[in-house]
Structures are given as C-alpha cells and as structure tokens.
Chains A and B, each alone.
Chain A
Amino acid sequence: MAKNPPHTPETGLWNQLNAWMTKGPAGYTFLSLYTLITSALLITNPRTSLFTDIVFVLFLLLILAIYRSRVALGFKIALAVVALGFVLPYFGTLNPYYIDVATQAGIFATLAMGLNVVVGFAGLLDLGYVAFYAVGAYLWSIFSTDQIGNMISGATPVGAGWFYLFIIIGLVVGGVFGVMLGLPVLRLRGDYLAIVTLGFGEVIRVLAVNLDKPVNITNGAQGIKDIERPPLFFAPALKALGFNLDNNQLYQIFFYFMVLVVVLITMLVVSRLKNSRIGRAWTAIREDETAAIAQGIPLVRMKLMAFAVGASFAGAMGVIFASKQLFINPPTFDLLRSISILSMVILGGLGNIPGVILGAVLVTLLNIQILPRIAEVLRSAKDAGLPIPQSFDPTQYQRLLFGLLMILMMIFRPEGILPEDRRRQELHDHDDDPVEVSTS
C-alpha cells in the first residue's frame, strides 16, 4: 500500500495556501467567490465551447472543494444546494449538453458506488457489473413499450406512472441477479472470480442480443426504442413560476434531479452500511477470509449480501437510464462499460465513497467531454495549418490519452485520487486538528 503524504500544514506553499483557504473567514470567502464566479461565468457563457467546458469542470470541482474544506456543515450544504440545486439546472435550461453531462456523471457515480460495495468493501473483483445495469434497463424497456406485446401476445405496456415502482422492482431484480452471480462464485477468489464475473457479464449481453427468438424478449441487436418516460408532474408548477420550458428541457431537468436524489440516497445507504457490522464484516472478509470466519462471520451470507447490494443499485439505475435514453441496445452494456466503471472506482480511491464519486465524475467528464474537446481543438489546429500530419486524426486517439492517464495514475498514485482516510473517520473522537497517527 502506498502511504498518504504526511499532513503537514506548515510546509510548502501549496499546503499553506490550502490550509488558509479551506477554513476560517478566508475559507468562507474563497468558497463563496468560487461559487459566484464560476456560476456567473457559466450562465453568461452558455454556448458549448472550450471556455465553457473549462468553467464547467471548475464548477464541478467546487463540490470537491466544499467537501474538503473545513467550514461549517450548514454552509457546505447551503453552497452545494445552490450549486447543484439551482445554478446547474438553470444553466441546463440554457444549454442542455452540460446538464446531460452532469446527469451521466451522476449515473456513473451511483454505479461506481454500487461496484465499490463489491470490489472496494468486500474485495470481490467483479468484471461483469454492467450486467445488472442491463437487467434494470431491459426490465423497464420491455414493460413500458410494445415489446411486452412481442413477448406475451396481447399484453399491453404498463403506464408511464409505473416508472417509480419499476425503480424499486429494478432494485430488487438487480439484487436477485446479484445473488445469482454470487452463488456459483462463492468459493472463488481473485483472478478466478474476475474471469467468472467477466463471463457472467458477457452472458447477459449475449442473451440480450439473442433473446429475440424463439420468443422475442429483448428485440435482439436492434434494441428497444420509444421507451416510456414518467409523467412530468411538476411542469405546471414550473410554468406558474415563469419558466417556459419545452418537454425536452423539462425531462433534462427531471432526470438530473432524479439522478441527484438517487446519488444522495446511494451515498447515504452505502456509507451507513460501511460503518456497520455488515460493512465491517465485508472488510474483514476482504482482509482475511479465514480469520473472518473464525470471528463467526457467515461467509456465504455476507458475500451474497455484498453482491446483492452492489447489484441492486445498478438495477435501479438501469431503469432510470433506459427511460432517460429512450433507446437501448446490447452494445450499451459491453465489457468496456464494466471496465470503465471499475476504473472509476480504482482511480477515485477503492473503498472510499467520496473518492469513488470523484472518480466517476472525472472519468465521465474525460470520456464524454474533455477528451473529445481536446481532439476537436487539435483538429481545428491542424486545419489552421499546424504541422500535424494529414493522416493523423486526433479523434482516433482519445482512448489512447485515456489509457495513458490511467497508466500514469496507477504509477504515481496507485491508491487513487481520494484514498480512504482512516484517521478522519474514527468514530468517537472527532478532534478538529488533523493529528497524524503514525501510519508506518
């Protein structure tokens, strides 16, 4: 394990600045100004551009700054509510692209937290996690569209209002599939477990491709379109407040808040589990199975519970995702997606909930915003006459950049960006000073 750099507030310019800016009057001023400036820049520059991209990333990093700062909790919450509850959705009405990026980041944050239960807490490497996401997504897709009629002749789709119930159903079905994966792999560890879970993920994807005959359940490779969306119960209220938004914008905002709520619930659930007998049992299993059993921890039940809990978040999020996308097909749930979620968990900080969320947001931003933007900038530079060979197409190299970043991260900070900070989470004694308990 790599060690945390020792916390020495008095050395180094950056640390001094950091210590000064994150607490006391300077902290409040800094955070308020940060929020104000980035918000103003976003709202006055809503057009999609490199500049807005940068401001948008800075704006999202604000949440990290708030989280890491040492100001009053109420102030933190207030700022976060202003930023995520008002500024971002309002900005979303000006430019739908960015709120969609934020929504996707939230979706992946939930998935990453779910996978983190299995991989980070219980130490069970799962390379087929996206399968549960697919199960949830297909569940709603089949039942909310005419696809149900293809499967059971004469059946009609459920109404849009069932959406909320289906989130719960997706949660339960995801959990059941988690147990289904868990049962055959109970005796496996490490590499062997990884291979079986990888196979499981592929099985689910291949089933999605091929279950269009003899009975058409998934509509095969064509996927399912026209997936139902929940009714916009809040539209009249917004209209009354003077917001004249079209349906698309309303759904953008709806799904943004929906995902935000799920992220918050997931955070709460996962962190409470972590600091309970269940979470401790998971960690004990990860650390030493034999010793864990000797403490009376029932291995089978605890492992299955980890698989089920982890999978259920993906199942529920799958329902929301399908409804948001309107269209799903099997390639959406390929191995690369599982790997991508795993990379979020590891990059952010295996086991640590804020780290995992940060990892999810960063990787999502990289994948759908930053890297494409870099490629675009390079291409326009090429068109402008920069000496780049004609045959070089920057868009083809996005994944290469992503891979390089991963390699560099793992070499220089293998514990992730925000690793678990055991000193701070210690229970009884919440000393305000970051007293370093010697850790090596």
Chain B
Amino acid sequence: MALLEANNITKVFGGLTAVNDVTLTIEQGNIVSVIGPNGAGKTTFFNILTGIYKPDTGGVLFNGQTITGLRPDQIAALGMRRTFQNIRLFPNMTVLENVLVGMHTHLHAPFWNILLRNRSLRLEEGKARDTSRDLLRFVGLDEKRDNLAKNLPYGDQRRLEIARALAGDPKLILLDEPTAGMNPNETVEATHLIRRLRDERGVTVVLIEHDMRLVMSISERISVLDYGTKIAEGDGQVIRSNPRVIEAYLGKAAGHHG
C-alpha cells in the first residue's frame, strides 16, 4: 500500500488554476522529488497535502486514511511533517525548545499533572528532552542546543527545522526547498542528511527542489509540475530525457527574459 495517495487534486485561486488534476502516489521508504519552474504549483501542492489549503476537487489518502478536510495540526499529528521554503523556526526559543515544540503531539501530560509536577510529568519531560537531544545529535546541533534559534547560521537553521520535523516521529516528511540559499558545500551536507533521514530513520521523504544535481542524485522518483499540471513522472533517467520537461525549463527561462 502506498503511504500517500493524492488523487486528482485541483486548486483554483480566483481565475488561476494553481494545481490542476494532479495525481501523485508515494511509496513507503522512497525519496521523491517534485520539481518544476517557479510558479508551477509545487508549494501549493504541499500546502494541500499538509492541510493548509483545501483542494477544490480530489482527495488525499495518507497511510490508508482520508485526510482531506482535516486541520493542519491534525494531519501533523498523524505523522506528516514539513519544513518551509523560507525557514520558519521559533526564533526566540532555544534550539532545544524548538525541537521540544516539535514533540508536542507526543506529549500528553494532563493539565493537573503539569501543575503538580508529579512523577509521571517529570518522566515524560525527561524523556522528551532525551529524545530531542538525540535528534539534535542526529543533525549535529546538540552543542548549540541552548542558543536561540535566530542566532544560528543559515545552514544550521535548515537542519534545526528538519530536527523539529523529526521530533513528531513522522512517517512522511515534506521538505520545501531544503537547500535554497545554501552554498555548494552546505548543499552536499544537506543531501547527505536527507539520505540519512530515510536510511537511518526510515522516514519517507518528499522534497521540492531546484538544485537538479541534488534531485537527480537522491530521488528514486521525480514528478514534474508545470502550470499546475503534472507533465512527467519517473526516475532521473526518464525525466532528463523527457522533451516536455526540457521544454518547460527552457520555456521558463525564455519567458523570464521576455
């Protein structure tokens, strides 16, 4: 069974069809890329999957359950987490606290236990901290756990966002341009980290990305969106040689200069 099935998703804003009848199936344990020129509807598609937008038509099945119409926090609680194109950390919280917030759906201490600070609460908090530290070690940020998130260098902020997403123990993680604004060195590290997400943590990864080298090197499958429509799908080899994909990218370049 596929982990995620998006069936015939359409989303119209005013007169603009941002996503047009897109169907996408993601198998458990894959790394899948969604690529396409700017404005192709990739982020809108992510926002539909995570529940920020409701699709006009079509539906999303996640882990065998219909999630269309659920609130974003409910979808997150089911095990689908994301990062944002322009990093959205909690800037005035520490690195550790950011990850602890990511664990919110796994902490269940009732109100009274918090007020009494009893044994079961202290146990839960202690465990949460240990798990968070593990995740920070996984992305290499444990040393900086007491820094405020806003004071981290750019690359670290990206990694922290991934650690925070992992804190929800997700089945699926959606990365929206995880290497945007990174230098080649940082991109290599990020690529390595994304692969480890799947290999060491068993998380299925979907990413939106512009860096073709990264996309080709780590994705098992690639889907190409253009003007809201899926124009191609397959592995790197197939995509590279697809005339419609080449046209979409060259056309975009020509259009921008016009």
Residues of A within 8 A of B (CB): 1, 268-269, 272-273, 276-278, 280-281, 283-284, 287-288, 290-299, 422-423, 426-429, 437-440
Contact = CB atoms under 8 A, between A and B. Distances in A.
Given A284-B93, A294-B76, A296-B77, A272 B114 contact: yes
B76 A422 contact: no
B129 interface: yes
Interface residues of B, number: 43
B162 interface: no
Q: Which 4 A-B pairs have the closest CB atoms?
A: A296-B76, A296-B105, A287-B90, A291-B88
A427 B132 CA distance: 13
A422 B148 contact: yes
Contacts of A287: 90-93
Nearest to A426: B146
B115 A280 contact: no
Given A278-B111, A427-B129, A437-B147, A291 B97 contact: no
B117 interface: yes
B147 A288 contact: no
Contact of B72 (A276, A293, A427): A293
A298 B91 CA distance: 20
A265 to B, nearest CB: 10
Contacts of B88: 288, 290-291, 294
B204 interface: no
A116 to B, nearest CB: 16
A297 B115 contact: no
Contacts, number: 109
Given A284-B101, A297-B73, A291 B90 contact: yes
A280 B84 contact: no
Nearest to A290: B88
Contacts of B146: 422-423, 426, 429, 437
Interface string B96-109: 11001111110101
Given A284-B90, A294-B81, A276 B129 contact: no
A377 B77 CA distance: 63
A75 B168 CA distance: 43
Interface string B117-152: 100010001001100000000000000001110010
Given A1-B92, A268-B115, A276-B121, 14 more contacts: A277-B107, A280-B93, A280-B101, A284-B93, A284-B101, A284-B104, A287-B93, A288-B89, A291-B84, A294-B72, A295-B105, A296-B76, A298-B74, A437-B146
Given A276-B109, A295-B168, A422 B89 contact: no
Interface of B: 50, 52, 71-74, 76-77, 81-82, 84, 88-94, 96-97, 100-105, 107, 109, 111, 114-115, 117, 121, 125, 128-129, 146-148, 151, 164, 167-168
Contacts of B100: 277, 280
B76 A439 contact: no
Contacts of B93: 280, 283-284, 287
B151 A440 contact: yes
Given A295-B164, A422-B148, A278 B114 contact: yes
Contacts of A292: 90, 101
B210 to A, nearest CB: 22
Contact of A294 (B82, B107, B111): B82
B101 to A, nearest CB: 5
A355 B55 CA distance: 47
B104 A297 contact: yes
Among B50, B100, B102, B104, the one with the most A-chain Cβ atoms within 10 Å of its Cβ is B104
B97 A280 contact: yes
Contacts of B50: 294
12 contacts: A272-B114, A273-B115, A277-B109, A280-B101, A284-B101, A284-B104, A295-B76, A295-B164, A295-B167, A426-B96, A426-B146, A439-B151
Given A291-B84, A426-B146, A438-B151, A296 B73 contact: yes
Central interface residue in A1, A287, A426, A439, by most chain B CB within 10 Å: A287
Given A1-B92, A284-B93, A287-B93, A298 B73 contact: yes
B104 A280 contact: yes
A197 B240 CA distance: 57
A70 to B, nearest CB: 20
A287 B77 CA distance: 20
Contacts of A438: 147, 151
B168 A296 contact: yes
A297 B73 CA distance: 6
Nearest to B150: A1
B97 A283 contact: yes
A157 B123 CA distance: 47
Contacts of B102: 295
Given A291-B84, A294-B76, A438-B151, A276 B101 contact: no
A428 B89 CA distance: 22
Given A287-B91, A295-B164, A426-B94, A273 B101 contact: no
Contacts of B107: 277
